[in-house]
Amino acid sequence: MNGGQLTIDLAFTIFVLAILTGFAVISKVPATLHTPLMSGANSIHGIVLVGAMIIATSANDPVTYALSFLAVAFASLNVVGGYVVTDRMLQMFKRKPAAPKAEKAEG
Amino acid sequence: MTVNATTFDQIIRLFWLGGAVAFVLGLVRMNSPATARNGNLLSAGGMVMAIVATAVWLLVLPPTGSFNAFGWLIILAGIAVGGGYGLYSARTVKMTAVPQLVSLFNAVGGGAAALIAISEYVSHASAGTVPGLQDNVATVLDVVIGSVTFTGSLIASGKLMGLRITPSKPVRLPGGQVITGVLTVVVLVGGLYIFLGNVSMAVLLAVVAAALIFGVTMTLPIGGADMPVVISLLNSFTGTAVAMAGFVLNNPLLIIAGALVGASGAILTKLMADAMNRSVLNIMLGGFGGGEDTSAAVGGPGGSVREVSMDDAAIQLAYASEVIIIPGYGLAVAQAQHGVRELAEILEAKGVDVKYAIHPVAGRMPGHMNVLLAEANVPYTQLWEMEDVNPEFSRCDVALVVGANDVTNPAARKPGSPVSGMPILDVDHAKNIIVMKRSMGRGYAGIDNELYANPKTGMLFADAKAGLAELVAAVKAV
């Protein structure tokens, strides 16, 4: 691919730092939001669509075209379905926001 | 041209970085119900930005050097088919069926990650080039994890849907350990062969096939009640597979997003397993049988059990000053969330203070009960988490348990029981307890609930949905 290649040591550094970020961010979420969170995290790995697009544009025979099509369709299902269903779940938490006594779940 | 190409690449990478930042900030915003929706939209915005940037990059500087019209046709067709079905299913699914849909989305995500590595490998094989060691390692890990996730998540989804080919109860496979052993050997030997720089499509396909079968044999023996933990674990697997696809394609965005999800899924899995007082390993090995609530009705648990009539229960509730409702898995299965909200509203109209006590693993997933109750228009300020509500039980007049079992069992406070040490709701501290349940059947842990033998407890034998409707009518008549 073009431009500066991502060297293996740099790629691994990014990988480890992203894992640590994931731990730090997730551990703060209250149990109330665990199902939406699971669904939200599920949509984020739909980013695999970017990879599916990359292989589709460099495909050059029936086998790689077929594999690319499946990969793009699968990844799109993951992205679109994931975000929409997460939004539907979270939408329901917006009702009656006037809190007489807010739950103190953070911490 | 080369300078421009490099600068252009760098600009695209900055957009990818923007997408990654949006994912992280989106997850941070999911900390509180007030900002969660906004956080998800932020994350979706980052996703759109990253995908558009990728499209521009591929159009302006195609990796192969020329515009691949058929490749783009495939991309558009794939997005139309997958995105269209995703939009339709996500908008029409019932809230009680969300876990199986999430599992399906997870399956295809893992499948896409595996397909990417397979496709790259096919390109190498047909071009006769040998990928480097790190590419081989990433390819094998991506293909194995992605394939296991694909079939494993499909089975988990099927189990939650109650399909006949994937029964909810644990399925013991004859010779299961032998099959697992053979599959493991195939994956290890095949993987090693590819690590060593040999390019063989046959070996790769054998590894894929073994991993696909492994996903099935791993998930089938696990009971339906354990599926949330399994789905969470597989969600983490998919993240890892996507990160591996990032290594295969040398793409930082896939590595970051995949690792983020891998970490989040791991944390969530551990939280869920902890709340059930079980280890993840224990669950994955099939655990202690784990039947569902319908298991044979056994006699009384030790002492005698007192039954209470619908009218008596209605009077107790209507004249209470504080009532705590404990909804559980049974309520989710019976889809009785609207009935429970109706009952709460009538009681509130009579001046009763109503709270819902939510155990961390109530429902089919942690937080699932909150979603179901929110769908039934229960304000989330009435939902109390376990630590906050436990001191309240000694003050409340009536605790109404609907479809919850093991999370209320006082046996958890003493050693020597399968539920020992599991955090529970202190329902037995309430002045009066009403348990609405279909039968004396045991819960998921397969043991008797000491709460039912408590002299303060009245058993109200009914299906959650029908029973709540009757109870609402009876309270109205008081």
Kindly indicate the confidence band of residue B63, based on its pLDDT and cuts at 50, 70 and 90: confident
**pLDDT of A103 above 50:** no
The whole-number pLDDT of residue B28 equals: 87
Percent of chain B with pLDDT over 90: 50
**pLDDT of B329 above 70:** yes
Q: Summarize pLDDT for B118-159 with one digit per residue, the tens.
A: 999 999 888 888 888 888 999 999 999 999 999 999 999 998
Mean pLDDT on B253-270:
91
CB spacing of A58 vs B54 below 8 angstroms = no
> CA–CA separation, A51 vs A95, rounded Å?
38
Range in A97-106, B2-11, B228-237, B319-328 with the lowest mean pLDDT: A97-106
Range in B88-92, B240-244, B305-309 with the lowest mean pLDDT: B305-309
Instruction: Reply yes or no on whether B388 is catalytic.
Output: no
Chain B residues near residue A76 by CB distance under 8 angstroms = 78-79, 81-83, 86
The whole-number pLDDT of residue B295 equals: 35
Kindly indicate the confidence band of residue B343, based on its pLDDT and cuts at 50, 70 and 90: very high
The distance from CA B164 to its chain's CA centroid, rounded to whole angstroms, is 21
Q: Which residue in the list B135, B406, B426, B448 is annotated as catalytic? A: B406
Interface check for B32 against chain A (CB to CB < 8 A): the answer is yes
Interface check for B101 against chain A (CB to CB < 8 A): the answer is yes
The whole-number pLDDT of residue A7 equals: 87
**pLDDT of B303 above 70:** no
The whole-number pLDDT of residue A29 equals: 64
The whole-number pLDDT of residue B290 equals: 41
The whole-number pLDDT of residue A1 equals: 44
Range in A44-48, B33-37, B231-235, B467-471 with the lowest mean pLDDT: B33-37
Mean pLDDT on B313-317:
91
> CA–CA separation, B443 vs A78, rounded Å?
34
**pLDDT of B331 above 50:** yes
pTM of the model: 0.81
**Amino acid in position A70:** L
Interface check for B247 against chain A (CB to CB < 8 A): the answer is yes
Interface check for B380 against chain A (CB to CB < 8 A): the answer is yes
Which member of B134, B249, B266 has the closest CB to residue A54? Answer: B249
**Percent helix, percent strand, percent coil in chain A, to nearest 5:** 75, 0, 25
Instruction: Look up the ipTM and state it.
Output: 0.87
Instruction: Provide the CB-side half-sphere exposure for B290 (13 A, CA).
Output: 23
Kindly indicate the confidence band of residue A94, based on its pLDDT and cuts at 50, 70 and 90: low
The whole-number pLDDT of residue B3 equals: 54
Helix (H) or strand (E) holding B457: strand B457-461
The tokens describing B346, both together, are 């009538």
Chain A residues near residue B26 by CB distance under 8 angstroms = 40, 44
The angle subtended at Cα B220 by Cα B219 and Cα B225, nearest 5°, is 75
Mean pLDDT on A64-79:
97
Q: Summarize pLDDT for B180-210 with one digit per residue, the tens.
A: 889 999 999 999 999 888 888 999 999 999 9
- How high does pLDDT run on average in chain B? 87
Integer angstrom CA distances of residue B291 from B272, B427, B443: 19, 24, 8
B310-318 and B337-349 helices, crossing angle to 10° = 50
Task: Specify the DSSP class assigned to residue B307.
Answer: B
Kindly indicate the confidence band of residue A98, based on its pLDDT and cuts at 50, 70 and 90: very low
A52 close to A68: Cβ distance less than 8 angstroms: yes
B101 close to B90: Cβ distance less than 8 angstroms: yes
Mean pLDDT on A69-93:
93
Task: Specify the DSSP class assigned to residue B420.
Answer: T
Mean pLDDT on B70-74:
95
CA dihedral sign, ordered B81, B84, B86, B92: negative
The whole-number pLDDT of residue B362 equals: 77
Percent of chain B with pLDDT over 70: 93
The whole-number pLDDT of residue B364 equals: 67
Centre a 10 Å sphere on the Cβ of residue B394 and count the other Cβ atoms it contains.
11
Identify which has the larger pLDDT, B474 or B128: B474
Mean pLDDT on B249-276:
88
The whole-number pLDDT of residue B322 equals: 93
Q: Summarize pLDDT for A20-54 with one digit per residue, the tens.
A: 999 988 765 666 677 888 899 999 999 999 999 99
Identify from A7, A29, A48 which residue to disrupt to test chain B contact, counting B C-beta atoms within 10 A and taking the largest count.
Answer: A48
Nearest-Cα distance to chain A for B356, in Å, is 12
Interface check for B419 against chain A (CB to CB < 8 A): the answer is no
Instruction: Provide the CB-side half-sphere exposure for A28 (13 A, CA).
Output: 15
Centre a 10 Å sphere on the Cβ of residue B67 and count the other Cβ atoms it contains.
12
Mean pLDDT on B267-295:
65
Centre a 10 Å sphere on the Cβ of residue B69 and count the other Cβ atoms it contains.
9
**pLDDT of B445 above 70:** no
Integer angstrom CA distances of residue B250 from B134, B316, B373: 11, 66, 44
B286 close to B222: Cβ distance less than 8 angstroms: yes
The distance from CA B97 to its chain's CA centroid, rounded to whole angstroms, is 11
B343 close to B414: Cβ distance less than 8 angstroms: no
Centre a 10 Å sphere on the Cβ of residue B101 and count the other Cβ atoms it contains.
23
Which member of A30, A52, A60 has the closest CB to residue B112? Answer: A52
A12-41: burial string, b at 16+ Cβ within 10 Å, e else: eebbeebbebbeebbeebbbbbbbbbbbbb
CB spacing of A67 vs B30 below 8 angstroms = no
